[in-house]
């Protein structure tokens, strides 16, 4: 767990891209969250759209299928006045044998102002970013990172709980295959939360403790006293071999039910990055319990977080003064 550090005033957001939470310091995370917070409020008003980034172009390049994240990024761009273009692998040249870097060079020649990329290989977005002259935002790469998901989860927690520091957050489910889990672990650790992983041994990464977490294999132990429970989707498409005997057995021991949740803190917040497998990872009555579940709010915060990231990266590149930390403390 990193120490809580007050942000220094007078320093700039120093990153050209948003590739992963691992690259960010606590003050940078806080800065992104603060900006997103303001956009979340704006999104609830009637004046949702600004022309702050009008005339700029945002390309969403998705090498993996996605509906929610792609829509969220599109909406975020449009609300900032960006012209957004979305491409998926089915209509890209990758299928004709073009390499990722060829694609990057081609897109770069078109002078986009932001590139949002999802790719099935860990590290692929980082590789691509080296060839681009515009900000690259990672919309999920392999099992590695999904930084905007972690930021939107953090924003949701912060708005509900008022803070992140000191909370106990249990992340439960298929951690091994989850980029969401990795980004969440880095972010929550950075912001001073205590992170637990709860899953059968086959779904916990090797040497997981080195990531700064506590590992539990039973929900009863892992959820005890937890302030937040983040359930993960079972990534059956990434599972080769025998990770689980059956979904029925998984739900019995690791699916989130009201009964299992009883050991958590009274005001526990339940989250899920979606899409949910109801009756596998989570019981419907928990997912739909608006008091405990923040699942819909996560989707809402997703747009705000992506607006903040696009804004900070694009306008910060054009005018670094635009993103000077104010130093108001955490």
Partner 1 sequence: MTLTAYVNARLIDPKSKMDIPGSLLINGSLIAALGENIDIPESAEIIDCKGKVLSPGFIDMRAFSVDWEAAAAGGITTVILQPDQTTLIDNDAAVERIRARAKERATVNVIPMGTATKAMDGQEITEIGQMLESGAVAFTDCRKPVEDAQILKRLMEYASYYDALIVQFAEEQSLKADGIAHDGGIASRLGLTGIPSIAEQIQIERDARLAEHTNSRLHVALVSSREGVEAVREAKARGVKITCSIAPHYLHLNEHALEGYPTFAKVSPPFRTEEDRLALLAALADGTVDTIVSDHDPKNPDLKRLPFGQAASGVSGYETLLPLSLKPVQEGTMSLLDLIAKLTSGPASLLKLDSGHLSIGAQADLTIFDPEQPWIIKRNQLKASATNTPFDTLPVNGKVWKTIVAGHEIYSA
Q: Return residues touching partner 1 (CB under 8 A).
A: 22, 99-101, 119-124, 126-127, 141-145, 179, 182, 205-208, 210-211, 240-241
Residue closer to partner 1 by CB (options 1, 263) is 1
CB of 135 to partner 1, least distance (A): 19
Residue closer to partner 1 by CB (options 243, 254) is 243
- Which token pair is 298? 């996560």
Q: What is the DSSP letter of 293?
A: B
DSSP labels, 19-51: --GGG--HHHHHHHHHHHHHHHHHHHSS-----
CB of 66 to partner 1, least distance (A): 17
CB of 241 to partner 1, least distance (A): 7
Q: What is the DSSP letter of 191?
A: T
* Number of C-beta neighbours around residue 72 at 10 A: 25
CA–CA separation, 121 and 132 (whole Å): 18
Residue closer to partner 1 by CB (options 54, 101) is 101
CA–CA separation, 60 and 245 (whole Å): 37
301, burial (CB in 10 Å: exposed 0-12, middle 13-18, buried 19+): buried
Three-class SS state of 189: helix
CA–CA separation, 150 and 127 (whole Å): 21
């Amino acid at each position: 767990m990193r120490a809580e550090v007050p942000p220094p005033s007078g320093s700039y957001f120093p990153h050209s891209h948003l590739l992963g939470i691992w690259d960010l310091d606590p003050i940078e995370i806080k800065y992104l969250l603060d900006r997103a917070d303001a956009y979340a409020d704006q999104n609830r008003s009637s004046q949702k759209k600004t022309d702050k980034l009008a005339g700029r172009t945002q390309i969403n390049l998705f090498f993996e299928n996605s509906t929610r994240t792609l829509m969220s990024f599109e909406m975020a761009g449009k609300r900032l006045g960006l012209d957004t273009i979305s491409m998926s692998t089915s209509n890209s040249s990758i299928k004709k044998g073009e390499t990722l870097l060829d694609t990057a060079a081609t897109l770069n020649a078109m002078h986009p102002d932001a590139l949002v990329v999802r790719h099935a290989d860990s590290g692929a977005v980082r590789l691509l970013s080296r060839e681009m002259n515009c900000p690259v935002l990672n919309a999920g790469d392999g099992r590695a990172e999904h930084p905007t998901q972690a930021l939107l989860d953090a924003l949701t927690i912060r708005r509900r709980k008022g803070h992140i520091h000191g909370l106990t957050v249990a992340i439960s489910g298929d951690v091994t295959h989850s980029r969401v889990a990795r980004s969440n672990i880095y972010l929550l650790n950075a912001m001073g939360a205590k992170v637990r992983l709860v899953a059968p041994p086959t779904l916990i990464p090797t040497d997981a403790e080195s990531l700064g977490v506590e590992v539990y294999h039973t929900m009863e132990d892992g959820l005890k006293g937890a302030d937040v429970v983040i359930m993960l989707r079972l990534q059956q498409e990434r599972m080769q071999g025998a990770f689980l005997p059956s979904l029925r057995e998984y739900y019995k021991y690791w699916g989130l039910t009201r009964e299992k949740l009883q050991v958590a803190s009274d005001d526990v917040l339940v989250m899920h990055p979606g899409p949910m497998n109801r009756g596998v990872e989570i019981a419907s009555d928990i997912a739909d319990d608006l008091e405990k579940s923040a699942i819909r709010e996560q989707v809402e915060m997703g747009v705000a977080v992506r607006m903040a990231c696009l804004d900070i990266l694009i306008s910060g590149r054009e005018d670094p003064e635009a993103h000077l930390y104010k130093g108001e403390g955490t």
